[in-house]
Amino acid sequence: MIRRQPLPRVSEAVRLDSYPHPYPSGWYRLASSDSLRRGEIRYIECLGGQFVLWREEDGDAVHVMDAHCPHLGANLALGRVRADCIECPFHLWRFTGTGRVAHIPYSDRLPQRTAARSYPVRDMHGQIFLYHASDDTTHNDPAQPPYELPEIPDLDEGRLVYRGQHDAGRVGMHIIEFVENAADTAHFQPLHGQFRIPWTQIPVPGVQLIHSPRWMTDEERPWATHLVDEAGLNVLGRQVQRTLASARVSFWGPGGVMTFRIRLPDFGEVLLFQTHLPVGPLEQQVDFRWYADRQMPKLLVGYVVGGWFSQWREDLDIWGTKIYRNRPLLSRDDGPIHAMRRWYRQFLPDERSEDTQSRMNSVQEPAEQQETKSQVGATTLGDNADRS
Ligand code: FES
Ligand SMILES: [Fe+2]
């Protein structure tokens, strides 16, 4: 978005107070797989916690544990990996990836209970993902997260090949905004209607992007939603047929992991991951990683990804200065905002505080809007779903 005025400085406390819990339950990307070598330990603060991410010395297994040693609290990031254990720098206790004490140099009596807290982690699609449970009591069994990230045979079988990644840095926003953005179909034309030079905010005069977005839940995978958009270019008032492309944006949980698949009829397909890691209540680390058909010209792939990137950037000033309206005033022709918020509740902690209760209740659809057209465009993805 091209800014004409300086950005309003909205107090963070005001913004934060308006939003739901900042760290919803779900999968989040911590790193690219190839950035973590065998035997390497990395300290990461995110999702309201402090973690160490480490890879075993003799194999490829990756683990995520609380950063601070259960013994006397040293930071395990200063330790080292010994075979399949992490060793604390303070008294040299060693822990397995599941958190069990494997060795104490000065004692044969090892604590029997699991000592260090470990988390579900997956090393797939070239990235390392952590499962975070927001209510801190359930789903933290490493073997049993409540849902998995999707298998993507096109990647595993090599039809789509790696073509690049981009660290977009940190942006000031609550994670729900990225998901709500897909259901807010009414903002597409006003905010994303101007075609821009890919990777930039420079408008191309006379060229408009025409969107036909449709948001849907997923019958088989209740933790997923999808946005299907048929996008085309309009040049000096005329639609250019060859530019028609169909895109599917899929959210695998509360906004931590998104895939964007776009098919250009004459050229092939691009698959882009966009990930958000909440490093603070209103701060997301954003990363892009993309794959494409092997025969697709790299320049074209960069153009497609850059086009998405430019559109994403248009939202940032809005997200960085807005509040969350618990009871939004919607028109009959708004997108399925309430349906999206009801879907999103599954990722929020089941807190019983009055504050949370009032926020949850306020997501109820206002009576006068229940039968309105605000649900138009919200459909359910059935059997013919894309498997990605
Ligand atoms: S603090 Fe980690 S071994 Fe003592
Ligand atoms: Fe947007």
Higher per-residue confidence, 257 vs 200: 257
Q: Does the pLDDT of residue 75 top 60, yes or no? A: yes
100 CB under 6 A from ligand 1? no
Which of 122-136, 230-244, 345-359 comes out lowest in average pLDDT? 345-359
Name every residue whose Cβ is closer than 8 Å to that of residue 374 and which is 6 or more positions away in sequence: 330, 331, 332, 333, 334, 335, 336, 337, 338
74 CB under 6 A from ligand 1? yes
Q: Does the pLDDT of residue 231 top 90, yes or no? A: no
Q: Does the pLDDT of residue 135 top 90, yes or no? A: no
The predicted pLDDT at position 112 comes to: 83
Q: Does the pLDDT of residue 242 top 70, yes or no? A: no
3-state DSSP: the chain helix, strand, coil percent, rounded to 5? Answer: 20, 35, 40
Mean pLDDT of the chain: 87
88 CB under 6 A from ligand 1? yes
Pocket test for ligand 1, best of 91, 94, 117 (most atoms within 8 A of CB): 91
Q: Does the pLDDT of residue 384 top 70, yes or no? A: no
| Domain range annotation of the chain | 25-132, 153-381
Higher per-residue confidence, 357 vs 313: 313
The average pLDDT across 302-319 equals 93
Q: What is the pLDDT of residues 137-178, one digit of tens each?
A: 554 565 589 999 999 999 999 999 999 999 999 999 999 999
Structure tokens at 349: 């902690």
Asked if 156 contacts 150 with a C-beta cutoff of 8 angstroms, the reply is no
Q: Does the pLDDT of residue 274 top 80, yes or no? A: yes
Show contacts of 71-79: CB within 8 Å, 24+ apart.
71/115, 75/43, 76/41, 76/52, 76/116, 77/41, 77/42, 77/43, 77/52, 79/41
Q: What is the pLDDT of residues 33-62, one digit of tens each?
A: 999 999 999 999 999 999 999 999 999 999
Q: Does the pLDDT of residue 354 top 80, yes or no? A: no
Q: One fold for both 25-132 and 153-381?
A: no
72 CB under 6 A from ligand 1? yes
Q: Does the pLDDT of residue 364 top 80, yes or no? A: no
95 CB under 6 A from ligand 1? no
Nearest CA to ligand 1 atom 1: 72
Pocket test for ligand 1, best of 41, 65, 71 (most atoms within 8 A of CB): 71
Hunting for tokens 């997200």 — which residue is that?
319
pLDDT band at 115 (very low <50, low <70, confident <90, very high): confident
Percentage of the chain beyond pLDDT 90 is 69
For the CA of 69, the closest atom of ligand 1 is 2
Q: Does the pLDDT of residue 374 top 80, yes or no? A: no
Higher per-residue confidence, 341 vs 363: 341
pLDDT band at 233 (very low <50, low <70, confident <90, very high): confident
Q: Does the pLDDT of residue 303 top 70, yes or no? A: yes
For the CA of 76, the closest atom of ligand 1 is 2
Distance in angstroms between the alpha carbons of the first and the last residue of the chain: 30
Higher per-residue confidence, 148 vs 358: 148
Q: What is the dihedral sign for C-alpha 352, 356, 359, 360?
A: negative
- Topology of domain 153-381 in CATH is Naphthalene 1,2-dioxygenase Alpha Subunit; Chain A, domain 1 (3.90.380)
Asked if 66 contacts 86 with a C-beta cutoff of 8 angstroms, the reply is no
Looking at 2.102.10.10, 3.40.1190.20, 2.40.37.10, 2.60.120.10, the CATH number of the domain 25-132 comes to: 2.102.10.10
75 CB under 6 A from ligand 1? no
Q: How many whole angstroms separate alpha carbon 246 and alpha carbon 248?
A: 7
Pocket test for ligand 1, best of 52, 66, 68, 93 (most atoms within 8 A of CB): 93
Name every residue whose Cβ is closer than 8 Å to that of residue 56 and which is 6 or more positions away in sequence: 38, 39, 62, 63, 81, 83, 84, 97
The H or E element containing residue 268 is: strand 268-280
